[in-house]
Amino acid sequence: MTAAAESTLTLDRRFARELAELAVPWQAEEAPAPELLVFNEALAADLGLDPAYLRSPEGVRLLVGNHVPDGATPVAQAYAGHQFGGYSPLLGDGRALLLGEVTDRRGRIRDIHLKGSGRTPFARAGDGRAVVGPMLREYLVSEAMHALGIPTTRSLAVVATGRQVRREGMLPGAVLTRVAGSHLRVGSFQYARATENFGLLRRLADHAIARHYPDAAEAENPYLELFRSVVSAQASLVARWMLVGFVHGVMNTDNMTISGETIDYGPCAFMDAFNPGAVFSSIDVSGRYAYANQPVLAEWNLARLAEAMLPLIDEDQEKAVTPAVEALGAFRGQYSAAWSGGMRAKLGIADAAAGDEAASAVVDGAIAILKDGPVDYTLFFRNLGKAARGDVRPVRGMVLDLAAFDSWVAQWQALGPDQELMDSVNPAYIPRNHLVEEALAAATGGDLDLVNRLLEAVTEPFTERPGLERYAEGAPEDFGSYMTFCGT
Ligand code: AMP
Ligand code: MG
């Protein structure tokens, strides 16, 4: 390692400094034989980090938390959270560490965070570890989401630790190095509120404003404005999930960010056939976080955030409730506008005026066809783009009720759909469940070729490329009903 390489990495400790009550200084567990499995060269460059250094033995030790640059203070973050509706007053990073912050090439502050770096004081019964499959899964899905233009935490690297971890059997351990605008969660505010330390709650809100919504500082009531900003960011985020068919799977308040980034990819999945009730997580037995419930549950989580923020909104709690409820009330309209606008873009009719009845009827008709199903959600829109170019066969071949479809297509075509717009918003490649599973199984056995190939497809999702045909196809018929497990 050269001094020059080292000097490219300075980690700030802004969170640890400003919010010490939420930060427990901690060290990562020693990885016996760290080996870099995947590395995000482009992201490293965006962060102003030296890729060659991060690939070096010391750089890889840094990526698992075993080499701590001078001046850095890794911390486990404290937070609370409603998990499946039940409140846990103390969750926190049980197996994760915030290494510190960097300023990226665009001048933005970014957290560098580890997942799977060993037990912390918040570990409860957990072993503090993570395994190769689920960490590569987060890497693949988060990078796919980013490429789809959806706000998300990013993945810088997955490093195998060289340690076997007990799950159902023994599996190879790994650490994910994650990058985020911040790791502030709804649960961070719940935790701060529960301490009854008003100064802490206010510092947390000020920190969130400075990092994510600096304009709120100028508002008449900056904290109310912060809440409004989070409501808007989440309304837009969840609309984007819905538009690509993404099911987060575990939308607990500790897994919802203040920044509006998607976070904590666990039992998530993209649905294949359109199904409002789609649930993939084995632990979501009641279907609380089913596809169609996501906007409702996001709003529920935001109500929990409002409760935590009430003392900031007005000293008089009675007086705080009305503006908080009003601010939360904006969620539905913002969500609907974001979803409708996005759906019109998917159908190539974004130019239609908001109140245009013909356009609304075409959107409703498309949803009716999907519901009539089973129709692969992603392929339906991609093939519809081909119909806009004159070849209606691929999409027509997907539906059962041809008469209904033909009359809908005529209505749609009368609006002059924009083919290019459609191809720029309807992905050809998403991390489909069968593709993710085959790639992770191979990687767990030591072969990363399929992970790399899938990454190649999903990180450029809108441009169909020769050689990637099987990545654009729907799930094989024998794939059956897919389940994801929280054994992350
Ligand atoms: P998640 O469902 O991944 O968002 O995690 C919920 C909570 O469980 C967080 O507080 C995690 O830090 C904690 N957790 C999950 N897995 C482990 C583990 N293997 N060891 C310790 N804590 C864990
Ligand atoms: Mg979590």
Quick one: the chain helix, strand, coil %, rounded to 5?
A: 50, 15, 35
Which protein residue's CA is at the shortest distance from atom 8 of ligand 1? 94
Which protein residue's CA is at the shortest distance from atom 11 of ligand 1? 94
Q: Which ligand is nearest to the CA of 29?
A: 1
Q: In what order do the strands lie in the sheet with 23-25?
A: 23-25, 75-77, 96-103, 109-115, 169-180, 154-167, 35-39
Ligand 1 pocket: which of 88, 90, 122, 132 to mutate (most atoms <8 Å of CB)? 122
Ligand 1 pocket: which of 88, 95, 122, 254 to mutate (most atoms <8 Å of CB)? 95
Contacts of 114 by beta carbon, 8 Å cutoff, 6+ apart: 28, 63, 64, 65, 74, 96, 97, 99, 175, 176, 177, 178
Question: Ligand 2 centroid vs 36 CA: distance in angstroms?
Answer: 24
Q: Which of 50, 254, 284, 376 is catalytic?
A: 254
Specify whether the CB–CB gap between 295 and 238 falls below 8 A.
yes
pLDDT in tens, the chain (488 residues): 444 445 468 899 999 999 999 999 999 999 999 999 999 999 999 999 999 999 999 999 999 999 999 999 999 999 999 999 999 999 999 999 999 999 999 999 999 999 999 999 999 999 999 999 999 999 999 999 999 999 999 999 999 999 999 998 999 999 999 999 999 999 999 999 999 999 999 999 999 999 999 999 999 999 999 999 999 999 999 999 999 999 999 999 999 999 999 999 999 999 999 999 999 999 999 999 999 999 999 999 999 999 999 999 999 999 999 999 999 999 999 999 999 999 999 999 998 887 799 999 999 999 999 999 899 999 999 999 999 999 999 999 999 999 999 999 999 999 999 999 999 999 999 999 999 999 999 999 999 999 999 999 999 999 999 999 999 999 998 887 777 765 55
For ligand 1, is residue 88 a contact (CB within 6 Å)?
no
CA angle 435, 440, 442 (to 5 degrees): 100
Q: Which ligand is nearest to the CA of 93?
A: 1
Ligand 1 pocket: which of 91, 129, 252 to mutate (most atoms <8 Å of CB)? 91
Q: Which ligand is nearest to the CA of 135?
A: 1
Query: Would residue 372 show up in a list of annotated catalytic residues for this protein?
Result: no
Per-residue b or e along 333-359, where b marks 16 or more CB atoms closer than 10 Å to that residue's CB: ebbeebbeebbbbbbbbbebeeeeeeb
Ligand 1 atom index nearest CA of 96: 12
Which protein residue's CA is at the shortest distance from atom 6 of ligand 1? 91
**What's the pTM?**
0.97
